[in-house]
Amino acid sequence: MHRREFLKFSGAGMATTVLGGVGLIGWQPRAHAVTVNKTFYINQGVATMIDGTDVFFKGFSSSPGVVNVPGELITTDTGKALQEGDTVNMTIHNTLSTTHNFTIDGVVNKSIPARQSLSFSFVVNKWGSYLYYDSRNAPYNRLVGLHGGMAVMPKGSSNQLYPGSLTFVQQYCWIFSEIDPVWHDAVRQGRTPSTAYVPRYFTLNGLGGRPPGAPGAHDPNIDAITDPRSALHGHIGTRTLVRMFNVGMADQSVHAHGNHMEWLTLNGQIRPDVWKKDCLYLDGKMGRIDSIYPFEVPPDSWPLAKTSTYPMHLHTEMSQTAAGGYYMFGAMTDIYFE
Ligand SMILES: [Cu+2]
């Protein structure tokens, strides 16, 4: 997965903020476990938002010279999803003057002191969709960008999320987040935010949308609607698993148009029934959902539509804006029936 440029920042001595690789996930069922090597740099930088506001971020980044928000998906060395039993050898270089940690709930929690490096290993024992994040100074370190995703397939599975699940043929990762620039600035100054939470930007895999005609519209490097890591592409029958995460504070309702989604899991637990739903309720504060977008012929279309484009958006109105007024610059993407 190539890293994509987010929003260039200018500011002496700080790194450029870029997107980490998340999105369409490849995988290859294996009879054996593998060991994966991953290196992150905890960096910080400033990105310029659509309205010209400079916002401070920290990120688990893939090289010293960039800030990745979100961090790259943790994958095998060939970029594939992990499988149960795999071992991750992690090295983290904390370039900052503050202590941070690397946490995957139920899997690993390691503290990396200021300006130090730490190597450690962990085993992924159970299929699922995981967030890695910095749980220190909660929720602020997570909110300012120290988060990313990890996909774990069950052992030997070619098409199921867990033994017996409905099947799929491709998978994506959607990480939703929110940005309150005042809170980010407090973290930059080493203070605990003391103001009410007022998110001003809403992102999917680090990007907001750009409506047709707006600067940057259709540019996959800056437009969440066309970013190939986020936009779903398929033909009729390309059943697509979407692993959704909500790093932000607000509960969200994820609405995909065209098809209902098959709702498999909520917050890491298999749901007792698979509901086919237009809107999925994604809890704030690290809510997780796995669901399948089936790429069926939309049942209400006439004539029956086999090729078309439909939106996916969140149902809180503010989440569809940026900077309190730019409509359609928020957390959304498109679904392409090709
Ligand atoms: Cu809707």
Q: pLDDT, tens digit, for every residue of 188-228?
A: 999 999 999 999 999 999 999 999 999 999 999 899 999 99
**What tens digit of pLDDT does each residue of 73-131 get?**
999 988 899 999 999 999 999 999 999 999 999 999 999 999 999 999 999 999 999 99
Q: Name the domain count of the chain.
A: 2
Q: How much distance in Å is there from the Cα of 330 to the middle of ligand 1?
A: 14
Q: How much distance in Å is there from the Cα of 312 to the middle of ligand 1?
A: 7
Q: How much distance in Å is there from the Cα of 255 to the middle of ligand 1?
A: 5
Q: Torsions phi, psi of 317, nearest 5?
A: -65, -40
Domain termination site, one of 129, 157, 185: 157
128 and 82 within one domain: yes
186 and 127 within one domain: no
Q: How much distance in Å is there from the Cα of 83 to the middle of ligand 1?
A: 34
Question: In this structure, which residues have their CB less than 5 angstroms from ion ligand 1?
Answer: 255
Kindly state whether residue 236 falls inside one of the protein's structural domains: yes
Q: How much distance in Å is there from the Cα of 293 to the middle of ligand 1?
A: 15
Q: How much distance in Å is there from the Cα of 316 to the middle of ligand 1?
A: 10
pLDDT at 301: 86
Q: How much distance in Å is there from the Cα of 193 to the middle of ligand 1?
A: 33
218 and 143 within one domain: no
pLDDT at 270: 98
Kindly state whether residue 167 falls inside one of the protein's structural domains: no
Kindly state whether residue 186 falls inside one of the protein's structural domains: yes
Q: How much distance in Å is there from the Cα of 163 to the middle of ligand 1?
A: 31
Indicate the range of 151-155, 244-248, 282-286, 299-303 predicted with least confidence.
299-303
pLDDT at 311: 97
200 and 71 within one domain: no
What mean pLDDT is predicted for residues 1-23?
A: 44
Does the N-terminal peptide bond of residue 139 adopt cis geometry, omega within 30 degrees of 0? yes
Q: What whole-number distance in Å separates Cα of residue 174 and Cα of residue 248?
A: 13
What mean pLDDT is predicted for residues 11-37?
A: 72
Q: How much distance in Å is there from the Cα of 175 to the middle of ligand 1?
A: 18
pLDDT at 156: 85
| Total-model pTM | 0.94
Kindly state whether residue 178 falls inside one of the protein's structural domains: yes
pLDDT at 17: 55
112 and 211 within one domain: no
Kindly state whether residue 79 falls inside one of the protein's structural domains: yes
199 and 253 within one domain: yes
320 and 192 within one domain: yes
Q: How much distance in Å is there from the Cα of 311 to the middle of ligand 1?
A: 8
190 and 146 within one domain: no
pLDDT at 1: 29
Kindly state whether residue 34 falls inside one of the protein's structural domains: yes
107 and 44 within one domain: yes
Task: Grade residue 252 by pLDDT with cuts at 50, 70 and 90.
Answer: very high
211 and 237 within one domain: yes
270 and 177 within one domain: yes
pLDDT at 25: 87
Kindly state whether residue 163 falls inside one of the protein's structural domains: no
Q: How much distance in Å is there from the Cα of 279 to the middle of ligand 1?
A: 8
What mean pLDDT is predicted for residues 148-163?
A: 94
pLDDT at 136: 98
**CA distance readout (Å), 116 to 112, 132, 235:** 6, 19, 48
pLDDT higher than 80, residue 50: yes
309 and 200 within one domain: yes
Instruction: Tell me the CA end-to-end span of the chain in Å, nearest whole number.
Output: 22
What mean pLDDT is predicted for residues 11-40?
A: 74
Q: How much distance in Å is there from the Cα of 167 to the middle of ligand 1?
A: 25
pLDDT higher than 80, residue 22: no
Quote the Cα angle for 311-149-295, to 5°: 30
The domain that holds 49 is classified in CATH as 2.60.40.420
Kindly state whether residue 164 falls inside one of the protein's structural domains: no
Domain encompassing residue 10: 4-157
What mean pLDDT is predicted for residues 161-174?
A: 96
Burial 183-219 (b: 16+ CB within 10 A, else e): bbebbeeeeebeeeeebbbbbbbbbbbbeeeeebeee
Q: How much distance in Å is there from the Cα of 223 to the middle of ligand 1?
A: 19
pLDDT at 302: 87
Q: How much distance in Å is there from the Cα of 218 to the middle of ligand 1?
A: 21
pLDDT higher than 50, residue 30: yes
% of the chain beyond a pLDDT of 70? 93
Task: Grade residue 15 by pLDDT with cuts at 50, 70 and 90.
Answer: very low
pLDDT higher than 90, residue 11: no
